[in-house]
Chain A
Amino acid sequence: MIKSFVESFKNLFEKPVTVNYPSEEIKRPAKYRGLIVYDVDECIFCDKCEKVCPPKAIVFHQNMDGTKKYHYNEYLCIFCGECVRSCPKIDLALTHSEIKPNIGTMDNEIFTQWRQLYKDAKQSRIDYKLSKKKPKKED
């Protein structure tokens, strides 16, 4: 009884466990897992990151002129970093940043139309292969 009284009295003057969040910043440890950052100039378009990604959050769209376009869905990403590890250009083309993902809003194309985008990207590769084959047959 006395012991618990003393303890509760002590507790009044202790530092609170919680943090006043918006006014005070939460301490984040170094190497916090944030968004995957992509560099077009360094990329060699080997598609390894796309193959390895568990939630399929990375997809390359094949343009008809032979170039590829990188799409990344930050809302699907689980931040496992498997793509960064599989990348042959170590710490250049793909890097693990400490940036927080943005809030998904309805005017964000990747947030609302990812499925269509993914389907189109897959289809674009099939179309590209077919268009390459055709001229050979005509010869």
Chain B
Amino acid sequence: MAKKTINIPLGSQHISLLEPIRFNFTTENEKIVDVDWDVGFVHRGIERACTTDFEYKQVGYVVARVCGLCAITHSLAYTMGIEQLLQLEIPKKIQYLRLLMLELDRIHSHMLCLSHVSENAGFEGMFMKIMADRELVMDIQEAISGNRVQFDYVSIGGVNRDLELETEKLLKTNLSELEKKIDDLMDKFTNNWSLSLKYKNIGVLTKENAYIMNALGPMARAAGAKIDVRLETNNFPYEEVGYEPIIETSGDIHARNLVRLKEIKNSIKMVRNIVDGLPQGEIEVKAKGKPNGETFVRLEAPRGEIFYYLRANGKNILQRVRIKTPTFSQIPVMVDIFKGANYADAHAILASFDPCMSCTAK
């Protein structure tokens, strides 16, 4: 008898998905043989809107609404691009405050991913627990920026609010509380037997494939590839505040979880250093003139590299805004990991990618 394959669709609406993405798995018994994907369910035409309806000073707020989780990364990447075009020099204090928000953003995004990985592996209680702990970071962000999700913290030439003494106190108490909980989570993710059944040696990405297929962010670092925009660029004083590249070698879901947990710890350390070494000065520089020319910006978002291309011709409205998000660049890697895996593990693998569809379709 000839081998029969069965098609199983996953998405665009599915209980294990946060956002609409469709996978069509071709399976042979339990094994996944081939994957077909579609990501364009939440297209909103943001790139077009940026070049027609909004002036360059407003686009920062539009672009921040591309994604709820990495809102600060998007608006920051855009603002940095415009500042390059306007040839503005940014004082150190502003850079420190921006980096502070960027790292807090990374912490809460990684925690969201971890909670969903545990939920998709069948650990509902852990999901609730991590989500509750995540509130600690959200509170800090709300205290600093005034908003809970869409921060609107960065504006062209500076930041909107200064760090105050009370928020600094809140930040320190919350972070020390969080650090204990992260240590506890690290123990659970490594030693819990039932979790390791779903995580260890599942969804393996080799180092070679990580380089060939352009893996980014925690996914590449879990496979042992030293890919991090923070290593390659000097937009921010990363080394000054104690950044360390975190690399695991096994490349499975367990390694990805560990990379995320260790990055959270590293980010906590960075945030503390930033707050302690915050220089004095103004929080806003006056922006003059109109942008002219073209530029690009690379930044390390929680999920990997984010890329902005901007072109302007000295008018109020930009000519082109191109956004390339990490999830979209990583689709070949996703397909590669799915091939050969069991269908039963597909949900856990998918959650460990940390896909962000509203970023991808924009």
Contact = CB atoms under 8 A, between A and B. Distances in A.
A90 to B, nearest CB: 13
B142 to A, nearest CB: 6
Interface string B100-135: 000000000000000000000000000000001001
Contacts of B167: 29
B62 interface: yes
A89 B336 CA distance: 59
B61 A17 contact: no
B295 interface: no
B54 A17 contact: no
Nearest to B135: A17
Contacts of A32: 146
Main secondary structure of the interface of B (DSSP, over half): helix
B353 to A, nearest CB: 28
Interface stretch (A64-72, A73-81, A110-118): A73-81
B132 A54 contact: no
Contacts of B143: 29-30
A80 B161 contact: no
Interface in B153-179: 155, 160-161, 166-167, 170
- Which residue, of A17, A30, A54, A85, has the highest number of chain B Cβ atoms within 10 A? A54
A11 to B, nearest CB: 10
Contact of A52 (B58, B62, B146): B58
B152 interface: yes
Contacts of A80: 61, 152
Contacts, number: 38
B61 A78 contact: yes
Interface residues of B, number: 20
A79 B161 CA distance: 14
Interface in A46-100: 52-54, 78-82, 85
Contacts of B170: 29
B152 A52 contact: no
Given A80-B61, A85-B155, A17 B132 contact: yes
Nearest to B54: A54
A33 interface: yes
B61 A29 contact: no
B57 A52 contact: yes
A31 interface: yes
- Which residue, of A29, A53, A79, A82, has the highest number of chain B Cβ atoms within 10 A? A29
B160 A29 contact: no
Nearest to B160: A81
B59 to A, nearest CB: 8
Nearest to A53: B58
Contacts of A54: 54, 58, 61-62
A82 B146 contact: no
Given A30-B166, A78-B152, A85 B160 contact: yes
Nearest to B170: A29
A24 to B, nearest CB: 16
Nearest to A8: B125
Contacts of B58: 52-54, 82
A90 B356 CA distance: 40
B19 interface: no
Given A17-B132, A29-B142, A33-B146, A82 B166 contact: no
B102 to A, nearest CB: 19
B34 interface: no
Nearest to A17: B132
A85 B58 CA distance: 13
Given A54-B54, A54-B61, A85-B155, A78 B150 contact: yes
Given A29-B167, A82-B57, A82-B58, 15 more contacts: A17-B135, A29-B142, A29-B143, A29-B146, A29-B170, A30-B143, A30-B166, A31-B161, A33-B147, A52-B57, A52-B58, A54-B62, A78-B150, A79-B146, A85-B155
13 contacts: A29-B170, A30-B166, A31-B146, A52-B57, A53-B58, A54-B54, A78-B152, A79-B146, A81-B152, A81-B160, A82-B57, A82-B58, A85-B155
Interface of A: 17, 29-33, 52-54, 78-82, 85
